[in-house]
Amino acid sequence: MRKMLHFVAICVASATLASSAQAFEATKPLCLAPAKPGGGFDLTCRLVSNSLGTSKIIEKPMIVNFMPGGVGAVAYNHVIGQRPDDANMIVAASTGSALNIAQGKFGAKHSIDSVRWLAALGADYGAVIVKADAKWNNLNELVADLQANPKGYVLGSGGSIGSQDWFKAAIIAKLAGINPKDMKYVAFEGGGEALTSLLGNHIQIYPGDIAEFSGQISSGKYKVLAILSEERLPGVMADIPTAKEQGYDAVWTIWRGFYLGPKVSDEEYAYWVEKMKTLVETDEFKKEREVRGLYPFTLIGEEYHAFMQKEEKRFKTLAEEAGLLK
């Protein structure tokens, strides 16, 4: 009898352990967008919240909330300080987030390792855009003119000094042997304002994002001299050469991703990793990604966290070379 009771006790204990291993389920799933509605972080959250809902991968609908401030700094500090173990919440991030963290703009004490990086699920790429009637037809011609007359042309984009838009301009300047701090650069509130200024000839070169610009390609008002991707992009972008194939090692990927609080458990982290791995294989997600003008770029779980650590080092080096870090 004692043996039987002992056996039952073991079974109950085993069942309890197995149950606890599968216990976590997001009951109030939330995506926090670290900006006002309508921007890139909103897009990032909708990419996942919409496709999770239509694919029924999680039981409860995912809500999107907003927390603007410091291009993500307020949300980063809020998660670390106030909600470090909230496993219901994922937070949108981008290449700009990593760049700001690397420069200490999210707080001197914070690094990439201050949170748990979950997944990157899509990407946009930088592009060198000029007016349709500009004299340049390729990147080589543009670089040659910048080398001959560094102060003769104005570059402009959406972002102040040290932002990722500024760094795309800095890459072009460096190709021409110009100190990025010496280039003639105008900062705008966003890409739309920069494109308008390009048409008005207030700037001559716009280092923008190709997905953001894609709706303008058919207008005939602009031309793209190069895309800052590793390889040519598919679809309507297939005829546009990369900077690499024109002889310049210039790549700028604007990835869209998510992180979790630093004290989220391994079990809870694994839950979200599995959900993301399942999601990216669905037709619902692929449709959402295409609708939002993003290209395939998938890193999930520890692979993504390791990528982020490399991004932090890379951006620190870029910032130091540009004279932005002492």
Candidate from 20-29, 118-127, 201-210, 220-229 with smallest mean pLDDT = 20-29
pLDDT of residue 83: 98
Please list the residue range(s) of the chain that carry CATH number 3.40.190.150. 27-124+254-321
Contacts of 225 (CB under 8 A, 6+ apart): 128, 129, 130, 136, 137, 138, 139, 142
pLDDT of residue 22: 54
Average pLDDT of 233-248?
A: 92
Q: Are 280 and 135 in contact (CB under 8 A)?
A: no
In this predicted structure, the answer to whether residue 19 has a pLDDT above a threshold of 50 is: no
In this predicted structure, the answer to whether residue 245 has a pLDDT above a threshold of 50 is: yes
pLDDT of residue 90: 98
Residue pLDDT, tens place only, 278-299: 999 999 999 999 988 899 999 9
pLDDT over 90, % of the chain:
66
In this predicted structure, the answer to whether residue 1 has a pLDDT above a threshold of 60 is: no
- φ, ψ of residue 55 to 5 degrees: the values are -90, -10
In this predicted structure, the answer to whether residue 179 has a pLDDT above a threshold of 60 is: yes
CATH number, domain 125-251: 3.40.190.10
In this predicted structure, the answer to whether residue 142 has a pLDDT above a threshold of 50 is: yes
In this predicted structure, the answer to whether residue 20 has a pLDDT above a threshold of 60 is: no
Thinking of the domain 27-124+254-321, which architecture would CATH place it in? 3-Layer(aba) Sandwich (3.40)
Average pLDDT of 41-65?
A: 94
Please list the residue range(s) of the chain that carry CATH number 3.40.190.10. 125-251
Within 10 angstroms of residue 63's Cβ, the number of other Cβ atoms is: 14
pLDDT of residue 218: 78
* Higher-scoring residue by pLDDT: 183, 13: 183
In this predicted structure, the answer to whether residue 12 has a pLDDT above a threshold of 70 is: no
Please give the torsion angle defined by the CA atoms of residues 201, 207, 208 and 210, in that order, rounded to the nearest 10 degrees.
110
Contacts of 312 (CB under 8 A, 6+ apart): 98, 101, 102, 111, 112
Residue pLDDT, tens place only, 75-127: 999 999 999 999 999 999 999 999 999 999 999 899 999 999 999 999 999 99
76, amino acid identity:
Y
- Token reading at 167: 């760094």
Residue pLDDT, tens place only, 185-201: 998 867 788 889 999 99
The tally of CA atoms less than 13 A away on the side-chain side of residue 290 is: 9
